[in-house]
Structure 1
Amino acid sequence: MSQGPITSQKLKIVESFAAQMASRDIRYCLWKSNEHLDAALAGNTDLDVLFDEEQRPSVVEALASAGFLEFKPIRMRRYPYIEDYLGLDPGTGKLVHVHAHFRLIVGESNVKSFHLPWEGEVLRTRILDSRSEICLANPENELLLLLVRTAIKARFRSAQEVVTLSSKSRVWSKEVREYEWLRERSSLKAVCALSERLLGAASVPPVRTLLEGLNGEALSELYVAGDLERFRNRSRSRAWLARWGTSTALKLGDRLRRRGLIDIPVRRTAPEKAGIIVAILGADGSGKSTLTKNMAHLLSKKIDVLSLYLGSGQGTSSWMRWPLIVMRRQLARQSRGSERGASKPRGDASVKKPLKAWLRDFGMSLWAVALAAEKRRKIYRAGRARSRGMIVVTDRYPQCTIEGYNDGPLLAHYAGHRWALLRWLSRWERACYDPAQNPQPDLVIKLVGTPEVLQLRRNDMDVAAIAHKQDGILRISFHPDTKVVQINAEDTVDQVLVNALSEVSHTLLDVRRTSEHRRLGILPPITTPGELIS
């Protein structure tokens, strides 16, 4: 069977998926939403794939070979016999999501309390789409499944929503679009015969009515005549409580996370709690903030991501540092005013006096202490999020290799001061930056480019200053287990993102293998202080 030429680009990872399934002789098919198959092949929508449950070990191996990693939905979003696999396409950086169904679990949102025992029928009658070389559900099977799924959904929708069942209704637009597409490609007589065989003779009249046009009354009749209640695997009361509780908890959790009050997963996490920390470093003009934002935005569509700013510039700051930022801006304005009035007579009262050196040192010490405390708190958040299986993306990362700049300690010059308090502050600040006492990143991406090119993006800095910062970043070292890579910052924004996501994918796979080896006792458990944060 062929549905015409493919109108969008087929991703390499999807081609690899099809090749792996064929080479291992795995029984599978895309069992729903084939109306937008082109979008699925291009990675713009998910792939809902039904597999033979008896072949599950081979399915897992095939998906891994194709470049997919399993991610566990949080408990409230988890459905029995449905697994989630995500893969990054190497050519485009798109995140492809495979819903692996080993049984036909359908029903209300956030619950899925119905099991349709028709897996054998759907897989036995599957067809190979010649244009994509991917197996699809037979149109008649897919159409009957759509009618049954819609009848179940309508049972839990308001009467007003059911009455407005039409292509113009935003609630039902997806179902109506798929229905019209499938009806053009199906034998209506075959659909009725299939309904009689799977649901009984009483289901045929409402199915025949629905094949003439979707309407709420016929859907209700199908639910009763087809005795769809027999496929329920959870009582009505338990399903209602689960649906209400899950919906409420997810909305509350998402709202609290958006406000930065909690760092708990609300979507999917890496299994075995094998999350990662990705640190992005680069000189001014390298695009590290842009890459951090783009990477977090793309990954957070499917995975739980925590994005943190660990610098001292214009990013988000803590409440402790905010008053100091306001004071520094005010002092900077006063300083500029003093410079403009420096040519006035010495006795002029309007001339601003410069701040004393000791007062500036005191202000600098307050700034350094507030900044170190802020970074320690954020690093703790990063380690805790990683231990929960989340992906943490940071703009910059504290280090001890270079002191005084590039996110290094600022009070190192007090280490030998005659005042004990300042010596103690220097030691305390260094501990906040010390790799031995903090979680270390799993992947460090250093954006590197020609200083002259980077300066074109930052006109407020000279080439020498950018070159000095970049040289320092190249000298920064991390824990031996940390993977450090360099990416050309002069590439386009999209290409930099693709290259970075490829490194993230490889690091996730490496961390997954290491975690599995530790679980099996092949490698010793982690005992460094930074890794004990949870």
Structure 2
Amino acid sequence: MAPDDWDERGTPDHRFTEVKILLHDLSCVHQLQSSDRESRDVAVIATSSISCACGCHRLSNDCTLVQFVNNFLDSEIAMQAPSSAMAPLIAVIGCDGSGKSTVCEHILEWIGRYGPAGTVHLGKQAGNVGRSLGRLPLVGAAMERLIRRKSDDVNDRIKEDKQPSLFPALVISAFTLRRRRRFKRMLALRQRGLIVVTDRFPQLEIPGAYDGPGFPEASQGSRPVLALARHEHAIFEWMANHRPDLVLRLNVDLDTACARKPDHRREALSRKIAVTPLLTYSGAQIVDIDTNQPLANVLKEAEAAVARVMAERGYAVKEENPRAA
């Protein structure tokens, strides 16, 4: 099947809106009351990155790194068990280029025959933000090199069984807060009786990859970073405790994934493909679908798997399809 048969839509306008806000914050963020120039520079860059990562909500000029750390550590986590009374939850997971967006959009529309439905993206999307920054005129190339350098530094520290330094830790924490907010929105939709289809789903089995925790399982690091890592683990433990009714696991070969996602690094896609079959999502029901086959066959298999789960949950097809939320 030709890669063009697939349509993994993104939201470029939204991503560039986040980038514009990041640049705005770079110009107006309040400096720390410190004579240490390096600390002030870190505050400017980290605060801007946090603003972008947290979903277009600008931080006030009085916000500092200390305030952010305190807010992150003080964020409330409800550890209650998931309610079996909530509406069904269907998660679609797979490597980039496997067709997650296409399958999500189709299932969201198709599942409306059972009742009102909604969708939430539960991925980190750090790569999307980084690629958007890399496409900016004039500064894009420099930003891309900076992000790549910081990423390589974090990977080197992980190999040495060390946590990231403070700045990358703050960025990781910002993305975690963003995902926690989206996850709570997903739960609210289910509590309102909406069937929810998610693009990606948090997992706790493999840190540092595939929508898992951003902090590694390392014991070495500064106290603030170790505290942030512990708190992130608690957030992911809470999210993973809400097991989906069904996980559609989309499998794709490396060449097909690279053809569909030419702006992604081949080695990164290779790692994700290798990890895909290892994820269990706390024992959730998983249906594997080969997305190298024609799209029509993929969608047919996805519909059949969802139909079985909806029948198990006692849902019947309605005469009229409510509009998806």
Please classify the TM superposition score into its range, dividing by the shorter chain length.
0.5 to 0.7
1:294 counterpart = 2:106: yes
Question: 1:364: which partner in 2?
Answer: 168
The alignment's TM-score, normalised by the length of structure 2, stands at 0.57
Aligned amino acid, residue 118 of structure 2: L
Cα gap change, 1:424/1:327 in structure 2, threshold over 3 Å: closer, same or farther? farther
Deviation of the 1:368 alpha carbon: 1.4
Partner of 2:193: 389
Identify the match of residue 508 of structure 1 among 279, 301, 310.
310
State how far apart, in whole Å, the 2-side matches of 1:338 and 1:365 are: 18
Q: Distance in 2 between matches of 1:435 and 1:470?
A: 26
2:295 corresponds, among 487, 493, 507, to 493
**Contact 1:311–1:396 (8 Å) recurs in 2:** yes
**Paired residue for 1:336?**
141
Cα deviation per residue 1:78-132 (whole Å; 9 max; x = unaligned)?
xxxxxxxxxxxxxxxxxxxxxxxxxxxxxxxxxxxxxxxxxxxxxxxxxxxxxxx
Evaluate the alpha carbon distance shift between residue 402 and residue 309 of structure 1 in structure 2; reply closer, same or farther with a 3 A threshold. Answer: same
Aligned to 1:124: none
* CA distance 1:339–1:384, shift in 2 (3 Å): closer
2-structure distance, mates of 1:424, 1:444: 32
Label 1:337 to 1:419 Cα distance change in 2 as closer, same or farther (>3 A): closer
- Structure 1 residues 467-498: Cα deviation after superposition (integer angstroms, max 9, x where no partner): 32111121112223x20110110122232122
Match of 2:216 in 1: 412
Q: Is the 8 A contact 1:435 1:479 kept in 2?
A: no
Q: Secondary structure at the match of 1:455?
A: helix
> Is 1:309 aligned to residue 110 of structure 2?
no
Q: Secondary structure at the match of 2:313?
A: helix
Relative to structure 1, is the Cα distance of residues 333 and 474 closer, same or farther in structure 2, using a 3 angstrom cutoff?
A: farther
Over the aligned positions, Cα root-mean-square deviation in angstroms equals 3.6
| In 1: Cα distance, 2:144 partner to 2:307 partner | 52
Identity %: 26
Q: Residues 457 and 328 of structure 1: is their aligned pair in 2 closer, same or farther, counting only changes over 3 Å?
A: closer
State the shift of 1:331 in Å. Answer: 9.1
Task: List structure 1 segments (4+ residues) > 4 angstroms apart after TM superposition.
Answer: 324-333, 337-340
How many residue pairs align between the two structures?
219
Distance 2:257 2:278 in 1: 19
Secondary structure in 1 aligned to 2:242? coil
How far residue 437 of structure 1 moved from its aligned partner, in angstroms, is: 6.2
Q: Relative contact order (C-alpha < 8 Å, sep 6+): which is higher? A: 2
The answer as to whether partners of 1:280 and 1:288 remain within 8 angstroms in 2 is: yes
The SS at the match of 1:479 is coil
Alpha carbons 1:412, 1:430 under 8 Å: kept: no
Deviation of 1:507 after TM superposition, in Å, equals: 0.9
SS at match of 2:268: helix
Q: Which structure has the greater CA radius of gyration?
A: 1
Higher strand share: 1
Helix, strand or coil at the partner of 2:280: coil
Range moving further from structure 2, 457-466 or 324-333: 324-333
Following TM superposition, by how much is the alpha carbon of 1:295 offset from its aligned partner in structure 2, in angstroms?
1.4
Q: Closer, same or farther in 2 for the Cα pair 1:331/1:400, shift >3 Å?
A: farther
Aligned to 1:465: 268
What is the TM-score when the length of structure 1 is the normalising length?
0.36
Helix, strand or coil for the counterpart of 2:303? helix
> Which one-letter code corresponds to 1:336 in the other structure?
A
Q: Within 5 A, what are the aligned runs for 1:405-444?
A: 405-412=209-216, 415-434=218-237, 438-444=241-247
1-side partners of 2:127 and 2:310: how far apart?
A: 27
5+ residue gaps, structure 2: 1-83, 155-163, 316-325
Counterpart code for 2:208: G
Alpha-carbon contact 1:383-1:439 (below 8 Å) kept: no
Cα 1:339–1:329 change in 2 (3 A) is closer
After TM superposition, give the deviation of residue 457 of structure 1 in Å.
Answer: 1.5
Aligned to 2:35: none
How far has the Cα of 1:337 moved from its partner? 4.3
In the alignment, the residues of structure 2 paired with residue 327 and residue 446 of structure 1 have an alpha-carbon distance, to the nearest angstrom, of: 27
- Of residues 202, 225, 241, the one that matches 1:398 is 202
Counterparts of 1:361 and 1:327, CA distance in 2: 24
Counterpart of 2:184 (choices 368, 380, 385) is 380
Gaps of 5+ in 1: 1-271, 317-323, 341-353, 514-534
The AA in structure 2 aligned to 1:377 is R
Sort the Cα spacing of 1:449 and 1:335 in 2 relative to 1 into closer, same or farther, 3 A. Answer: closer
Instruction: Report if aligned partners of 1:279, 1:444 keep a CA contact under 8 Å in 2.
Output: yes
Residue matched to 2:46: none
| SS of equivalent residue, structure 1 residue 441 | coil
